Amino acid sequence: MFESAEIGHKIGKQAYKQALPELREALLQAQIELVQRKKTSVLLLISGQDGAGKGETINLLYEWMDPRFISTMAFSEPSEEERDRPPMWRYWRTLPPKGRMGVFAGSWYSDPMRDRIEGRLPVKALDARAEQINRFEAMLVNEGALLLKFWLHLTKAAQRKRLKALEADPHTAWRVTQWNWDRLKSFDVAQETAGHMLRITNTPWAPWAVVEASDDRYRELTVGRILLDALRSKLDSAEQAQTPVAPALPLLRVNVDKRNLLTELDLSLALGARAYQRELARWQGRLAELARDPRFKDHAVVCAFEGADAAGKGGATRRICAALDARQYQVIPVAAPTEEERVQPHLWRFWRHVPRRGQITIFDRTWYGRVLVERVEGYCAPDDWLRAYTEINDFEHELTEAGVIVVKFWLQTSREEQLERFRAREQVAHKRFKITEDDWRNRDKWDAYQQAVCDMVDRTSTGEAPWTLVESNDKPFARVKILRTLCERLEAALAAPPRRPLADKPPAAAKKKARAG
Amino acid sequence: MFESAEIGHKIGKQAYKQALPELREALLQAQIELVQRKKTSVLLLISGQDGAGKGETINLLYEWMDPRFISTMAFSEPSEEERDRPPMWRYWRTLPPKGRMGVFAGSWYSDPMRDRIEGRLPVKALDARAEQINRFEAMLVNEGALLLKFWLHLTKAAQRKRLKALEADPHTAWRVTQWNWDRLKSFDVAQETAGHMLRITNTPWAPWAVVEASDDRYRELTVGRILLDALRSKLDSAEQAQTPVAPALPLLRVNVDKRNLLTELDLSLALGARAYQRELARWQGRLAELARDPRFKDHAVVCAFEGADAAGKGGATRRICAALDARQYQVIPVAAPTEEERVQPHLWRFWRHVPRRGQITIFDRTWYGRVLVERVEGYCAPDDWLRAYTEINDFEHELTEAGVIVVKFWLQTSREEQLERFRAREQVAHKRFKITEDDWRNRDKWDAYQQAVCDMVDRTSTGEAPWTLVESNDKPFARVKILRTLCERLEAALAAPPRRPLADKPPAAAKKKARAG
């Protein structure tokens, strides 16, 4: 991985001076196009050995380009608000929007690499993290990001020399601490780990650029040139949708006998008035207890509601809320994305509502919109919704891995029941707003929606985040089944041996994070 | 304040049952209009004695209305990210957007009242906080919010009774702790403090509704009715701009001799090439040291740049950035507000970028847009920009009070110099994008802009956040003056005795905050 970056590359002063003006002009021009067209976000990961000039390189980018459209993200120890959420949350919240460039001083590579170097992570676990990272990066690229990963490389000798030089200069001496010298001792382990990690995350869609860093001029020109080429190639490429860079799942099954998951549901299931009152009180009481259980402080709940219009999502939500303390939950109605959400990857607008530990977020419609309405209505290309299954599974995996309990409900009514409810709503003044032209139009695509639901369940009902199909022709039955399911999932999670979420490191260990990338 | 709420109000079961359906229907209808029209945000403060039914009242609102458009904000101990910023930041970040209802369980009243009750805040300081709160609330109302402040009142005897009842019921016993009983002992002090605070914050624009809380049915119907009346009156009122509820400053001075702050500047000030190099290096070096000074960790910097087009804001910004570590600052270019920003009070989009301690935010154009471009171009009503002076002063006061160093630059060029720069820009490919039709049009309003600048400086150059007028016909001179000013402000702040920002309480004390409201 590092061979070509140990041959002693150097650029003379004269050659540097000659090349620089043109490079800067071209970089600035490319940045202007980036800002004006708002089609792409740029993520620059600046990683590498201590003293390899990461900070200098970042400062140089600011000097060469317009600093108003660059943000640098540093990741030292995670804050409380970050520790209370899945580890990737802190990266999602800092993703640059389209039109901007985000420089990552430290990144999603920092934690696994440091943990490996310090012997806390077996190599198999490291490989699993790398696989997750590859998928995350594929998602970013598919969503329109330009992702450039730089590794600034120094040999051990060069690193020692550089640390000494920094230490000798009174202006930079503060940057060298005992920690750096200690780290030099583990150079070989670090080197090997980095080499391994870089190799398995060196994907066609997000390749690493390893840059020899001992000569400043060589490093500067090389980084600048790679950035320029990548920017230009992205800006000059055709704007039409591209084939996703990561493989989507194979195409969908054909259904020859008209039977499917949903036709098999017994929609006649119902609950009498007295049984409903009894069961409702029982499960609401149970939910109230569970949400106040001290063990719940190590968890959070993401509750996802999907269902055709008028299937009863709102009513079910209210029955859940009634059992909870209003300070403990948020209900997020998912409608069209806002301007700020549209310039981010699709899942960003859901990540921003991921609950802290001890909290509950109820989504009224969800990230599954992409494989339901967007698929059926043609709002996104088939490639996009096909890859969404994988992205969604990854998203939910990251939640569950961090102790978040993901509970997903599909509320199924018959076509006839839906019609009846539409008509009833039109009679009630304050419910009239709930019926729009769209609702009537969606009815015409009933079969296409049902097929999309079956595909969704097949592909995203995982052991850790299963779908619950709810027979919803009878509202009392549906509400009780939902409450009961939620309680049972909570009970199971609280009874399981506690797992320590990845981000939850003692501050002392976390402190070193800042420099691990 | 509490007299009418101690007369033993009660509602019978029958009367309650009769009144409820109509009330709920009307509340839901009002909420639908609120959501659809997106003209108003609703803030409900639910305060009052322990055991007065605050939680129950909030849960009831969720039952009566559509929970998807309500959010409840609870404020327990501030998080790290909150403690690192001015105390009001945590409230700004949770303000509900237009179309939504935010329920505040705990609010900006909690801290000062608790501090007063526990004897840490002299009554004069409490009054000063109340005055700040009144202005903050006036701003909210002027920005289109409906602000309803409920105080649920119990007599001491009723409170004791209620705590006992809660304790007796196994479902609610967990809510009563020794802390509650201890607090009952200080009932009289708490009562007196609350009465005082409520009286001085009982403004025409944000009055308190004191509700006797010992009878559940009375409390529920009263809160519901007050909320409904307020919602209806807000929704039914004419939509045109209203006169601000808080007094704006008197109208502006007339200028009879054509001399003003800006005409008095000596725009011939300039710096030769060698002096520039020397001074630039000197102040950049100084700035680099100051930003890395350990004492800077207790501060932050907000650096505000205003100036006519082509005055050199970008160039000056780059000279500052060059001295800093990219991980320490963000540059925020201020353009048209986004969709999410447009449904919030004007200052919200600046609050969201307020730096954490140890960090620096550079604004390229600022919150002064309202009294500059928006005033001159007529983008907002005179009442709105007139009240903005006060709101801005309050904003900057809250920053400086928390240790944030606010440094504001107005870059002044002559009209002729601007023309020359426009023409030069048109010649350079990568600078052409910087000149738009708007820029040429703005030139025609030169005099109006100059007047607006003078008014702005007169009204917002405060001791703690003074304006620095920068003679900018010569870029080297301007850049050095800016760097030097920034350094001097930083030096002065670091040399001053450390002040402990209000939000920075030891966690132990902060813990009780959750229940102080």
Q: Give me the residues of chain A with pLDDT under 50, please.
A: 501-517
Task: Please tell me the distance from the alpha carbon of residue B40 to that of residue A184, in angstroms, as a whole number.
Answer: 59
B 411-450: CB under 8 A from A: 429-430, 433
Task: Please tell me the distance from the alpha carbon of residue B406 to that of residue B299, in angstroms, as a whole number.
Answer: 10
State mean pLDDT over B52-76. Answer: 91
For each of the domains in chain A, give its residue range(s) and CATH number, in order of start. 3-244 (3.40.50.300), 273-495 (3.40.50.300)
- Residue B304 CA to chain centroid, in angstroms? 17
- Comparing CA positions, the residue from B33, B81, B73, B99 lying closest to residue A330 is B73
Which residues from chain B sit within 8 angstroms of residue A25, using beta carbons? 429-430
pLDDT: is B184 or A497 the higher one? Answer: B184
- Comparing CA positions, the residue from B4, B20, B22 lying closest to residue B12 is B20
Q: Among A494-498, B212-216, B364-368, which is the least confidently predicted range?
A: A494-498
Q: Report pLDDT digits (tens) over B238-256.
A: 665 566 776 666 666 666 7
Q: Identify the burial level of B217 via C-beta atoms within 10 angstroms of its C-beta, where 0-12 means exposed, 13-18 middle and 19 or more buried.
A: middle
**Does B327 contact A105 at a Cβ distance shorter than 8 Å?**
yes
pTM: 0.84
- Residue B274 CA to chain centroid, in angstroms? 45
A272 touches B: beta carbon within 8 Å: no
Report the amino acid identity of residue B431. K
Question: What is the structure's pLDDT at A258?
Answer: 76
**Does B69 contact A325 at a Cβ distance shorter than 8 Å?**
no
Q: Report pLDDT digits (tens) over B279-293.
A: 999 999 999 999 999
Partner-chain residue, chosen from B325, B340, B429, that has the shortest CB–CB distance to A55: B325
Which residues from chain A sit within 8 angstroms of residue B436, using beta carbons? none
Question: What is the structure's pLDDT at B503?
Answer: 44
Partner-chain residue, chosen from A66, A321, A429, that has the shortest CB–CB distance to B67: A321
Helix runs in B302-381, H state only: 313-321, 339-342, 348-351, 373-376
| Token pair of B292 as six digits | 């890395």
Q: Report pLDDT digits (tens) over B303-360.
A: 999 998 889 999 999 999 999 999 899 999 998 899 899 999 999 999 999 999 999 9
pLDDT over 90 percentage in chain B: 64
Q: Is the pLDDT at B20 greater than 60, yes or no?
A: yes
Q: Among A167-171, B105-109, B345-349, B374-378, which is the least confidently predicted range?
A: A167-171
Which residues from chain B sit within 8 angstroms of residue A66, using beta carbons? 314
Match 């699709």 to its residue by tokens. A346
Residue of A nearest to B364 (CA): A68
Q: What is the largest CA-CA distance in chain A?
A: 90
Helix then strand then coil, in percent of chain A rounded to 5, is 55, 10, 35
Asked if B371 and B472 touch (Cβ cutoff 8 Å), the reply is no
Question: What is the structure's pLDDT at A8?
Answer: 82
Q: Report pLDDT digits (tens) over B112-133.
A: 999 998 889 999 999 999 999 9
Task: Please tell me the distance from the alpha carbon of residue B456 to that of residue B372, in angstroms, as a whole number.
Answer: 8
Residue of B nearest to A24 (CA): B430
- Phi-psi category of residue A24: left, alpha or beta, with phi > 0 → left and psi -120 to 50 → alpha: alpha
Q: Is the pLDDT at B25 greater than 90, yes or no?
A: yes
| Token pair of B425 as six digits | 């820009």
**Does A321 contact B288 at a Cβ distance shorter than 8 Å?**
no
Helix runs in B352-474, H state only: 373-376, 382-401, 415-427, 437-444, 446-460
Which residues from chain A sit within 8 angstroms of residue B70, using beta carbons? 331
| Token pair of B274 as six digits | 């060698």
pLDDT over 70 percentage in chain B: 92
Length of chain B: 517
- Comparing CA positions, the residue from A156, A249, A155, A140 lying closest to residue A201 is A140
Question: What is the structure's pLDDT at B225?
Answer: 95
Question: What is the structure's pLDDT at B194?
Answer: 92
- Comparing CA positions, the residue from A313, A399, A388, A408 lying closest to residue A359 is A399
State mean pLDDT over B143-157. Answer: 92
Measured in angstroms, the CA of B115 and the nearest CA of chain A are apart by 23
What contacts B83, CB < 8 A, 6 or more positions away?
B501, B503, B504, B505
Question: What is the structure's pLDDT at A174?
Answer: 74
Question: What is the structure's pLDDT at A442?
Answer: 72
Phi, psi of A146 (to 5 degrees): -100, 120
- Comparing CA positions, the residue from A451, A423, A457 lying closest to residue A439 is A423
Partner-chain residue, chosen from B29, B174, B339, that has the shortest CB–CB distance to A430: B29
Question: What is the structure's pLDDT at B429?
Answer: 59
Question: What is the structure's pLDDT at B427?
Answer: 78
Partner-chain residue, chosen from B72, B317, B326, that has the shortest CB–CB distance to A72: B326
In whole numbers, what is the pLDDT of chain B averaged over residues?
A: 88
Q: Is the pLDDT at B431 greater than 70, yes or no?
A: no
- Residue B456 CA to chain centroid, in angstroms? 19
Contacts 24+ apart (CB under 8 A), A506-512: A507/A77, A510/A76, A510/A77, A510/A78, A511/A76, A511/A77, A512/A114, A512/A179
Measured in angstroms, the CA of A264 and the nearest CA of chain B are apart by 31
Report the amino acid identity of residue A489. R
Asked if B410 and B396 touch (Cβ cutoff 8 Å), the reply is no
Three-class SS state of B249: coil
A251 touches B: beta carbon within 8 Å: no
Which residues from chain A sit within 8 angstroms of residue B58, using beta carbons? 326-327
